[in-house]
Structure 1
């Protein structure tokens, strides 16, 4: 006990053991904080990985669905072709473009009516013995040729337009005005597409962007490279803009047009010029929406296909 003036001062003594206990407690508290921070970080990483896995699964399912739809369309076309080849008529179903198949009648009415008469004559010949006559083979009536399937109306429903994503783009090796692109259309492999957009769209704006692609054109060679589709654009003589799908669209999404049921040809016949007949009615409207005869091109449940600035111009 010390005294300063009249006031005594008590000096507290701490043992080494008490200092050590406080230090350990501090370390434990620090370790708990670090553990909590680590757990929080791991949880956020797990959540991010789960979101990525779910998104990948969605994209894979979308691609598989698009591929299956394409295979079904091809199989249906092949089935109709085989049925026509085997003499079955294709009859249009009222209220739709679909066809149903009916077998041609097996025997003409005239032949069926003649059967009883022929039987009566045979019985009479057995009763009265007459010199045998050489049997004359009756000529069978010529089989009717199967009627050709009625062609679907020429409109936008026969165009196979889909959402695609440019996954690779560069200059065409043999043409300064052409881009050479790889476009994911939700199928097993990307399509090779050649586009004459070098003068209108910078290369960096083409990379990794979503586009609208017409997929049932007949593949054609452009400067030695086979192009398997066409990128749809709003166009004037001086300016061209690549059409943009709605937000939330993914590769393989199908583009529809209200009032024109989507029943695309497996492959457009260049001689019938279906796209050329539809092209004059494919335009953007005053609100930048791509339309056919005033009806918007859209991805169901996601929104309309639009241009950036070009109003009331042709789409091709």
Structure 2
């Protein structure tokens, strides 16, 4: 009876012992794999360093050739100029050094490379005079074109309708007739300054060649010109008798406006500081009035000596 029980007990322990043995073997295998991965990483690093070293050596050889060629060219030029001795330093390039610039030649009796020219004749050598090339006049603007108010497409317009922007409390969305087949959509931040009823069916001056810009989801195709101060804004009025599409011109500033102002050239940003109302509320650029030919000048209602934007 005792022998049977012992046999049963030993048979029940064998699976557990086998599991422990296999666990130990698995741990050893994991450790072996970790060591193998580390060896592979080290080997990959060594290979990468060898490739980098070969590349640097090739670049160094090419750089040395370029320096030698520059030295030859410089020596030849100095020889033609009649310099008796030209000292050229010996340059050794390290694998990570930047290309050196050719050194300024100086007389020397101990030189790594020396060029001797034939002895000068009895006639004294006169230094060559270098002709001064005329410098081009600086461009008036970043695009090489003059920057003045003639590049702005300013027109008389009529605000047909205006309403609050659906997603911005400070903005109006207007439909403006500027003499084109269909009105332009214009977004203006005038809610705090002009009552909505005063925006309806009124005449204004529009800047029409700004690049269209999306403002809170609505694309604005022009800008209403206003006299402006930190606490007050007034829309500029065109002269009596002006109609939508009439051009605004400036005496002394002829020229055709850009089809569209390039925001990168900052044309509007350069012109805007010179736009002001004068002492009589007339809108001006450098003293020249905003004028509709044959009809009169544009002005603010009450704001004199104020900026315009």
In the superposition, the TM-score normalised over structure 1's length comes to: 0.52
CA distance in 1: counterparts of 2:155 and 2:287, whole angstroms = 19
User: 1:281 offset after TM fit, Å?
Assistant: 0.5
1:275: which partner in 2?
A: 268
Match of 1:167 among 133, 157, 160: 160
2:186 is equivalent to residue 193 of structure 1: yes
CA distance in 2: counterparts of 1:295 and 1:252, whole angstroms = 21
Task: Spell out the pairing of 1:67-146 with structure 2 (5 A cutoff).
Answer: none
CA distance in 1: counterparts of 2:144 and 2:253, whole angstroms = 15
| Aligned partner of residue 279 in structure 1, secondary structure | helix
CA distance in 2: counterparts of 1:216 and 1:249, whole angstroms = 20
2:282 is equivalent to residue 289 of structure 1: yes
2:299 is equivalent to residue 306 of structure 1: yes
CA distance in 1: counterparts of 2:147 and 2:171, whole angstroms = 30
In the alignment of these two chains, the number of paired residues is: 168
1:243: which partner in 2?
A: 236
2:175: which partner in 1?
A: 182
Higher strand share: 1
CA distance in 2: counterparts of 1:183 and 1:223, whole angstroms = 19
Indicate the structure whose relative CO is greater, using CA pairs within 8 Å and at least 6 residues apart. 1
User: 1:168 offset after TM fit, Å?
Assistant: 1.1
Point out 4+ residue stretches in structure 1 off by more than 2 angstroms.
none
Q: Which runs of 5+ in 1 are unaligned?
A: 1-149
2:254: which partner in 1?
A: 261
CA distance in 2: counterparts of 1:301 and 1:262, whole angstroms = 18
RMSD: 1.2
In the superposition, the TM-score normalised over structure 2's length comes to: 0.54
Paired residues of 1:256 and 1:262 also in contact (CA < 8 A): no
| Aligned partner of residue 275 in structure 1, secondary structure | helix
